[in-house]
Amino acid sequence: MEYQTILNEIQDEVLVLESKGAVADYIPQLGNVDATKFGVYLYGIESEGVSLGNAFEKFSIQSISKVYSLVLAMKVLDKDIWSRVGVEPSGDPFNSLTLLEYENGIPRNPFINSGAIVVADILMSYYQNPKEALLNFVRKISGNDAIDYNEKVAFSEKAHGYRNASLANLIKSFGNIHNDVDAILDFYFYQCSLEMSCQDLAKSFMIFANKGMLLDSDEVLIEPQQAKRINAIMQTCGFYDESGEFSFRVGLPGKSGVGGGIVAVHPGYYSVAVWSPKLNKKGNSYLGIEALERLTTKTGFSIF
Ligand code: GLN
């Protein structure tokens, strides 16, 4: 069956479900989003992209940005990362402080807030202008120069970022942050405020479906081994304390954000991005997971 036919079926089934979630409003700017938005974009390695609904509308990618910052850090400083951040699922919420206290300020993985803050610190030590470096990298792998940060969202998060500030300060007290805490937080809030569409997200994640290569140019962006490793971390840690459940229901590596986006990858086959702003209690898109579970069930294409 064609991907488009399957996506249309999924839309019919998912949009009649009652979305039990709620839009994230702990970052006030995110609370203003229209909760009924729903978009999907799928790129196949050997097929044209297919779309549904609001697939071309930009939204706040939030924690999905943690994948981009990690990839950039792995490109420039791979060997320096893994003594400062682990690769184990945390089993805790994305903004939890708990394990840091027992584990000497070494975050469990790069896809929870503490881990991404350490990755931001690593990038900050390497680049004079890390915001510009990250933006250029994301534009390049998405093939879209119009992608940008949303300063209103970044400021809104900064104004309420007490929890992230505690994480950064706690990590700094263990010596695992080398730069100024306020500067790191500023960079972290900016990276979370990146706005992209499902199409942009799906296109950029094709590097993980395509052994590290850009789709259109065959340029090797990261080594195949690095793409393999990022897929592995997405599989085990991409959904915080719901990573096991996502694996169980969907069966793909992926990453979510509190803006309601999820991107998932089937290495060797496709990448797919979904956007629906209402989140479940773990901070993952409620209808996004429903849609992706149907996608892998109907196509029979998951990694398992
Ligand atoms: N910017 C958000 C935060 O730090 C990102 C969280 C997320 O998307 N899970 O709280």
Q: What pLDDT, on a 0 to 100 scale, did the predictor assign at position 215?
A: 81
Q: How far apart are CA 23 and CA 42, in angstroms?
A: 24
Do the annotations mark residue 157 as ligand-binding?
A: yes
Give the closest residue to 270 by CA, choosing from 248, 249, 284, 254: 254
Beta carbon of 95 within 6 Å of any ligand 1 atom: yes
Helix (H/G/I), strand (E/B), else coil: 60: strand
Beta carbon of 67 within 6 Å of any ligand 1 atom: no
Residues of the chain with pLDDT under 50: none
Of 23, 92, 94, the residue with max ligand 1 atoms within 8 A of its CB, to mutate for a pocket test, comes to 94
Q: How far apart are CA 214 and CA 140, in angstroms?
A: 9
Partners of 270 in the β-ladder: 44, 266
Q: What pLDDT, on a 0 to 100 scale, did the predictor assign at position 49?
A: 93
Q: What pLDDT, on a 0 to 100 scale, did the predictor assign at position 266?
A: 96
Beta carbon of 284 within 6 Å of any ligand 1 atom: no
Q: Are 258 and 24 in contact (CB under 8 A)?
A: yes
Helix (H/G/I), strand (E/B), else coil: 149: strand
Q: How far apart are CA 77 and CA 80, in angstroms?
A: 6
Helix (H/G/I), strand (E/B), else coil: 275: strand
Q: What pLDDT, on a 0 to 100 scale, did the predictor assign at position 111?
A: 98
**Residues 6 or more apart from 128 whose CB is under 8 A from it?**
none
Beta carbon of 192 within 6 Å of any ligand 1 atom: yes
> Could you report the per-residue pLDDT of 159-208, keeping only the tens digit for each?
999 999 999 999 999 999 999 999 999 999 999 999 999 999 999 999 99
Q: What pLDDT, on a 0 to 100 scale, did the predictor assign at position 1?
A: 65
Quote the pTM value: 0.97
Set out the domains of the chain in order of their start, with CATH numbers. 3-62+194-299 (3.40.710.10), 65-192 (3.40.710.10)
Whole-number Å distance, alpha carbon 214 to ligand 1 midpoint, is 27
